[in-house]
């Protein structure tokens, strides 16, 4: 792969987690072996990566080559078509690394018609940055990561609900990174009551995610720590029509039935492209059983909690035969100072 | 480390798992740069490694150097003292890699008095082969390995008791190796009833372990598969005085109370140096809570079983605070074709 496409991918990775329902994309404009423009899509509604890079390049873009991690668009969305901008800038060659599966029409022919060479060089890394975006856009729900921290015997807490601290400091840092890379964190009422969590990203210039609370009963205590932080939006989904608050950063959505699909579609409509689920056994098991999850991140601490297993992170009403049990693929495993991190995908 | 000590360690490893309550030991006799004798302790009551190596060397042992992974004994045990044999063989130098912590008297001075040079060169690998032997001898109980195969949510079976097959073929092969390296496998009545296991070592020339069954109630069905194999000894511990059988390979021990300590001491007295526990939640949890276990080997299959968790492998009557929960250290982790193997030690 060209060094310049590598740079474009690096740019895309820098903005991964801050582009909401849009994919992270990077772009580099190169003329006579020198970079004359760089760009990345910073957030939905903002300029696309290639437009930024072309703006930076200015007149230098003439007869230059542009590298883009994703195929340039040829339609009017929240911004005008990028192919027009490329044509106007008099670019001589376009190289991109991922086909945009979410598009009905492609711009290669338009570019060709204007004498611009187009080279599609598939790159797996570039594609992986976009693949969940394609899926999310097709289903109109966010990309979903479920995170669980548990003991080796599969418990999130002892039978009294005590869970602090099962995993170590280094895992907490890893979780802060996870939060930073997601637009929103979703949890259930039970976890709120038990753990009194903050769901913040505690590192310098980290982005705090929107907090989403699933509470069918609406039995919430607004005096809790999480509600004291008024700088981040809090969205509550409930089946309780009487739940109200004056607090400005809290948005309550009443649903007759809190179905996951309904909630996820609503969250996506509101601009959440990547959702992190950090919840107790009930909500966690609901997500892990659904077909919506893209990634399951499991941290194991090398301890056994025992008891009766009230807080086993995975519990189901139905009993399944072993061959029909919920099957995953391990895509990554590592030791984080005596804790184990597994990244899994549904099979 | 000398190449010859490496060979001695290799010899010791070859017999690891077949020496019962004795440690695996290897020895090499070297004269003028050539190996003139090799030996390993094959089983309790048999010659010690250095005696075998000296016998092989014959008159060549005169003025030779002997490498032994463990300090030679200077007392009458089941065999005469090895230092006498070394002196008689007119060895000029003894090199050993582990001090025998189980001995009250050491033979260095005796060897010195006969003009034999003694060199203690500590080697970690050689020592690790013996360390559990020292502990077992001090406590008069076997070295204990607890093996568990579970889903990622900590279950050995679904709520109906179905457990076949959670882990994959490669893990089964690994378990056969484990059985081969242990003198006996212990299980509970529940597992026998549920899984109808054989506890055999299904590879060429593999050694089948003695089968030990813990059944307080004595409610056993002798028609089960495990009892059909009459080639291996089966020892049953029970609190039921009426449990009897005519089957020759079955030995029933009646105890008023089946305390782990009592059973383990009896097993050790009968010659079991290394015990593998492959059992259901009840027996597994009893061992994992005890201070007796030397190694906990946990295989995870990348699936979630769910249900209510009747067969969570670790369950306790008491609820512990997280800081007081059963803490382990991960000494090894690996992926075995999408299954995870962890080797843990109690902290």
Residues B214, B187 contacting (CB under 8 angstroms): yes
How far is it, in rounded angstroms, from Cα A339 to Cα B100? Answer: 35
Residue among A285, A289, A306, A321 with most chain B CBs within 10 A, to mutate:
A306
3-state helix, strand, coil in chain A (%, to 5): 30, 25, 45
Predicted pLDDT at B14: 86
Confidence of residue A2 (pLDDT cuts 50, 70, 90): confident
Predicted ipTM of the assembly = 0.75
How far is it, in rounded angstroms, from Cα B211 to Cα B226? Answer: 9
pTM exceeds 0.90: no
**Residue B215 touches partner A, C-beta closer than 8 Å:** no
**Residue A307 touches partner B, C-beta closer than 8 Å:** yes
Closest partner residue to B154 (CB to CB) among A154, A325, A340 is A154
Confidence of residue B77 (pLDDT cuts 50, 70, 90): confident
**Cβ-defined contact of B163 to A320 (cutoff 8 Å):** no
Where is pLDDT greater, at B298 or B81?
Answer: B298
Q: Average pLDDT for residues A183-200, to the nearest whole number?
A: 86
**Cβ-defined contact of B329 to A340 (cutoff 8 Å):** no
Q: How far apart are the first and last CA of chain A?
A: 30
How far is it, in rounded angstroms, from Cα B219 to Cα B216? Answer: 8
Residues B265, B115 contacting (CB under 8 angstroms): no
Residue among A150, A152, A341 with most chain B CBs within 10 A, to mutate:
A152
Predicted pLDDT at A231: 86
Burial string for B182-210 (b: 16+ CB within 10 Å, else e) reads: bbbbbbbbbbbebbebebbbeeeeeebbb
Does the active-site annotation cover B170? no
Q: How many CB atoms lie within 10 A of CB A230?
A: 11
The number of angstroms, rounded, from the C-alpha of B20 to the middle of its chain's C-alpha atoms is 8
Confidence of residue A196 (pLDDT cuts 50, 70, 90): confident
The enclosing H or E element of A282 equals helix A281-289
Contact list, B344 vs chain A (CB under 8 Å) = 152, 302
How far is it, in rounded angstroms, from Cα B146 to Cα B167? Answer: 16
Beta bridge partners of B236: B213, B252
pLDDT tens digits for A227-244?
988 888 999 999 999 999
Q: Average pLDDT for residues A290-317, to the nearest whole number?
A: 96
Q: Average pLDDT for residues B322-343, to the nearest whole number?
A: 95
Domains and CATH numbers, chain B: 3-134 (3.40.140.10), 140-346 (3.40.430.10)
**Residue A205 touches partner B, C-beta closer than 8 Å:** no
Upper half-sphere CA count for residue A297 (Cβ side, 13 Å) = 18
**Residue B331 touches partner A, C-beta closer than 8 Å:** no
Residue of A nearest to B148 (CA): A153
Contact list, A158 vs chain B (CB under 8 Å) = 319-322, 325
3-state secondary structure (DSSP) of residue B64: coil
Closest partner residue to A303 (CB to CB) among B164, B308, B328 is B328
Predicted pLDDT at B229: 86
Contact list, A327 vs chain B (CB under 8 Å) = 302-303
Contact list, A153 vs chain B (CB under 8 Å) = 154, 312-314
pLDDT tens digits for A40-74?
998 888 889 999 999 999 999 999 999 999 999 98
Q: How many CB atoms lie within 10 A of CB A16?
A: 15
Q: Average pLDDT for residues A175-204, to the nearest whole number?
A: 85
The number of angstroms, rounded, from the C-alpha of B25 to the middle of its chain's C-alpha atoms is 14
């Amino acid at each position: 792969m060209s060094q310049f496409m590598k740079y474009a991918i690096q740019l895309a990775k820098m903005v991964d987690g801050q582009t909401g329902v849009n994919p992270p994309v990077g772009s580099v404009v190169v003329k006579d072996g020198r970079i004359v423009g760089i760009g990345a899509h910073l957030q939905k509604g903002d300029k696309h990566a290639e437009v930024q890079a072309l703006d930076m390049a200015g007149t230098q873009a003439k007869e230059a080559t542009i590298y883009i991690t994703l195929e340039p668009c040829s339609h009017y969305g929240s911004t005008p078509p990028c192919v027009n901008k490329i044509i106007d800038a008099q670019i001589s060659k376009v190289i991109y690394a991922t086909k945009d599966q979410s598009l009905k029409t492609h711009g290669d022919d338009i570019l060709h018609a204007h004498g611009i060479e187009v080279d599609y060089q598939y790159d797996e890394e570039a594609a992986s940055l976009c693949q969940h975006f394609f899926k999310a856009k097709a289903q109109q729900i966010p990309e979903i990561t479920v995170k669980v921290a548990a003991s080796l015997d599969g418990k999130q807490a002892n039978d009294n609900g005590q869970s602090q601290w099962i995993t170590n400091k280094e895992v907490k840092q890893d979780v802060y990174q996870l939060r930073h890379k997601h637009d929103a964190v979703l949890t259930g009422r039970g976890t709120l009551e038990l753990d009194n969590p903050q769901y913040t990203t505690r590192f310098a210039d980290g982005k705090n995610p929107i907090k989403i609370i699933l509470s069918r009963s609406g039995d919430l205590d607004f005096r809790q720590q999480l509600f004291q932080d008024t700088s981040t939006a809090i969205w509550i989904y409930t089946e309780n029509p009487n739940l109200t608050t004056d607090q400005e950063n809290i948005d309550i959505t009443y649903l007759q039935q809190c179905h996951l699909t309904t909630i996820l579609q609503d969250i996506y409509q509101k601009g959440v492209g990547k959702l992190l689920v950090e919840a107790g056994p009930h909500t966690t098991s609901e997500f892990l059983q659904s077909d919506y999850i893209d990634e399951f991140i499991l941290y194991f601490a090398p301890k056994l909690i025992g008891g009766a297993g009230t807080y086993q992170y995975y519990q189901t009403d139905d009993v399944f035969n072993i061959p029909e049990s919920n099957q995953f693929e391990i895509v990554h495993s590592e030791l984080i100072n005596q804790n184990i991190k597994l990244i899994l995908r549904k099979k």
